[in-house]
Structure 1
Amino acid sequence: MARANPFSVWQDRQAPTLDDVQRMAADAFANLPGALRQLCGDIVIQVAEFPEDEVLDDMGLETAYDLLGLFQGTGLAHRGLPYTGEMPNMIWLYRRPLIDYWAESEETLGHLVTHVLIHEIGHHFGLSDDDMEAIEAQARD
């Protein structure tokens, strides 16, 4: 009798596509508490392969793999009255850096997408990276 190959489940698998990651992000957002989703308002969540070169330059990052997600816009804490032509607040998730990070960690991809999405939503509320790290540290303790 032939022995079952424990790796056979991976033989036909491919990396998640942009659409797959977009669906993961939409599912993660849909599973956030309703009050939090309502506070996000009309925020747009997009997935791209990599950040634009301009974003990398502005942030002083060495490679496109150094950024998993990005909030673009004006955080709620800094918003005044909207003006004509104002773009909506957006959260970008970057598929290739996410997959690279996932491949080197012990997290599931769904958990990672959710974590990055929540982190970027924190920026939407005007929280700094340091603020969010402190909140995460308190949650772990």
Structure 2
Amino acid sequence: MSLELDEESFERLVIEELDALPDDMVDGLENVVFVVEDRPEDGSLDLLAVYEGVALTERGQYGFGELPDRIVLYREALLELCDDLETLRQEIHVTLVHEIAHYYGIDDEELHRLGWA
């Protein structure tokens, strides 16, 4: 059985978990927005989140007027995975760390090695 939570309550949890992340992880984030969507465009529940942008290790200097990178969390996929609020908090936390790591240029293989994937 999956957990049910409205969009506003879910977004509040995401903000709380972002605030709980270590300062050295979030202080380096520049021109990144965090977005909650119900599902990816294909409608699947396979993907928990996605980082859309150019990793810090791959980019040059930002110019003016560039769109921000995006970290998108998929509410329905995360809710489907969790039976209770505490599990959801943990899953959101791990998902945020995972996607922020992609921003810093850490790939899935390294995340697996570090125990974050």
Question: Is 1:19 paired with 2:8?
Answer: yes
Helix, strand or coil for the counterpart of 2:51? Answer: strand
Bigger relative contact order, structure 1 or 2 (CA pairs below 8 A, ≥6 apart): 2
Superposition CA RMSD, Å: 2.0
Could you say which residue in structure 2 is the equivalent of 1:135? Answer: 114
Over residues 55-101 of structure 1, what are the superposed CA-to-partner deviations in whole Å (9 max), with x where a residue is unaligned? xxxxxxxx611100000111111110223442111110001111111
The answer for the alignment partner of 2:21 in structure 1 is 32
| Structure 2: segments with no counterpart, 5+ residues | none
Q: Name the one with the larger helix percent.
A: 1
Within the candidate set 73, 79, 88, 1:109 is matched to 88
Identity value in percent: 29
In structure 1, list runs of 5 or more residues that go unmatched. 1-13, 54-62
Kept in 2, the 8 Å contact 1:73–1:87? The answer is no
Q: TM-score scaled to structure 1, two decimals? A: 0.72
For 1:120, the equivalent position in structure 2 comes to 99
User: Which residue of structure 2 aligns with residue 4 of structure 1?
Assistant: none
Instruction: Select which of 71, 86, 94 maps to 2:51.
Output: 71
2:106 alignment partner, SS class: coil
Q: TM-score, normalised by structure 2?
A: 0.86
* Equivalent position to 2:35, from 23, 46, 68: 46
| CA deviations over 1:17-72 (Å, ceiling 9, x no partner) | 1222211111111111112211123321110000123xxxxxxxxx6111000001
- Give the equivalent residue in structure 2 for 1:9: none
Cα distance in 2 for residues equivalent to 1:117 and 1:36: 10
